[in-house]
Structure 1
């Protein structure tokens, strides 16, 4: 049969091209099967069907999921589980152009959630969880995945991330970055914990401390260190300076400068 197209030359050419495209799609229309375990269908479909609607629109195909309601009715009617399963509840049918169907099938399979295990030292887990689980909830929302962290009494390093493959891959990268950040913080805590001891006659301690602690507070702030004096009634000479090694040395020199000045009088 012939189809006659009348109109402006450009419009006719465009219409002809579109008709040929439609005919080609119809001639090459197929129905293929996509096997996905029924337990994942709800996830693949997405909230209010959003995910499957996106796929049908993008690839111009029709997608038919097994009728779950009908299966439940048949189970309720007393039909055996084996018979209901024989209806191939895992099979999804995709209808459309062959190449588009294959692309849509690939997109559906990529929507199936996977679980991957990641080893993260147990000592970091509490930081990943955060206060009342705030950190892990924020992480899951950011990467659109589910994160399972073992109970504290298990002392296990294994964390499980569940979601679609692309999101899981992104989440693994995000988790690795977070672990590096925690490692740096731990290293920094060690460096900040350097302890330098300096012997200063106990009789000079009150002057170094200053009235109401003003002098020692200024030293602490200036060099970003913590300074610990022995208890007054013990008459010990050792003052402990805690912080980055370089900072403790500078604070020590400052204190010894005060001592030198006191001794010169």
Structure 2
């Protein structure tokens, strides 16, 4: 039997009509094609009149602005009506911890935009200054549910990552005498890099003068930090068990001992199976060198060779360095002496300087006394 044609009216609030007609009515066209019906929304030209009528007869029934008509076969109209109602946007609130919002938004909003496009919903995240946990998701019921599921899944991943960060931020500090730090670091950082990779931890040695000179800090999982500490203590224990001797080698000889890129120093250590620790710039004595090894004889043999090499170096140095030329200080500036009132500067004819005293004989005697004649 052929089904009769009917016109079915359904009420959907006018505020949602714009969303239903979005994308040039694409969703409505799909419904009409799928169910072979015709769907009509309130005419825009009649909206103003319908709104006035609605205001006058608010208690008489539903507003004409909310009424949508569906024309077609009986069963198909009912199916289309249900499908149309399913397209009505709904809003759901989801609580997401404020500290996870930045991860949900992503760099420059990339993550949140991809979520909205993938699920065809609108996601509203509260402003940062409100510190609110509520996120609003608007869209069709089906799309909202899928978006909520995806968001909660990502929140779970955020929380798991946060817990991992918390566990990995465990810090363990312990003291190791600073003279053994070089052994833990190794040549070109080889030992410390192997420890970091093996235990998946960060190892921090003191860097500035404000840091405790002996303190080493490990950062990572607690179990990993403890395991790394045990291995480092074992390395130090082995170093402390070595036979150790301190000798004084002239600091000017140290570059010769080290050689280009440390090759000479490495050669000596490999030859005698010893460790040679040279002073650092912060050490009080720049000449103090420490030699350690498992074999006591090897340590003394190494010391003997180093002393020979030092003596040869110093002899060469004295041979090729010329003695200093002691510079004589410049002579003091010449001081001109001006003599005034000397006997040879007096005026013998002046009565003021040579007054007449008694008779002429006395005067002559006086004059003779001041004359230029030498008396022997």
2: distance between equivalents of 1:246 and 1:80?
Answer: 74
**Counterpart pick for 1:243 among 204, 217, 220:** 220
Cα drift, residue 149 of structure 1: 0.4
2:16 maps to what in 1?
40
Which digits, 9 at most, give the CA deviation of each residue in 1:192-228, with x for residues without a partner? 1122223311211122123443321221122211011
For CA contacts below 8 A with separation 6 or more, give which structure has more relative contact order.
Answer: 1
Q: Is 2:141 the partner of 1:157? A: no
1:71 maps to what in 2?
46
Cα drift, residue 62 of structure 1: 1.4
1: distance between equivalents of 2:233 and 2:86?
Answer: 68
Which digits, 9 at most, give the CA deviation of each residue in 1:10-67, with x for residues without a partner? xxxxxxxxxx4xxx22xx2211111112232232234232211221122221111122
2:198 maps to what in 1?
222
Q: Is 2:234 the partner of 1:257? A: yes
Cα drift, residue 84 of structure 1: 7.9
CA contact 1:71–1:84 (8 Å) conserved in 2: no
Q: 1:206 to 1:147 in 2, by over 3 A?
A: same
2: distance between equivalents of 1:230 and 1:141?
Answer: 51
**Counterpart pick for 1:134 among 99, 110, 118:** 110
2: distance between equivalents of 1:232 and 1:43?
Answer: 63
**Counterpart pick for 2:82 among 82, 106, 131:** 106
Q: Which ranges in structure 1 are unaligned for 5 or more consecutive residues?
A: 1-19
Q: Is 2:59 the partner of 1:89? A: no
Over the residues paired in the alignment, what is the CA RMSD in angstroms? 2.1
In the superposition, the TM-score normalised over structure 2's length comes to 0.58
State the number of aligned residues. Answer: 235
In our comparison, the structure showing a higher alpha carbon Rg is 2
Of 208-217 and 167-176, more deviation after overlay is shown by 208-217
CA contact 1:61–1:100 (8 Å) conserved in 2: yes
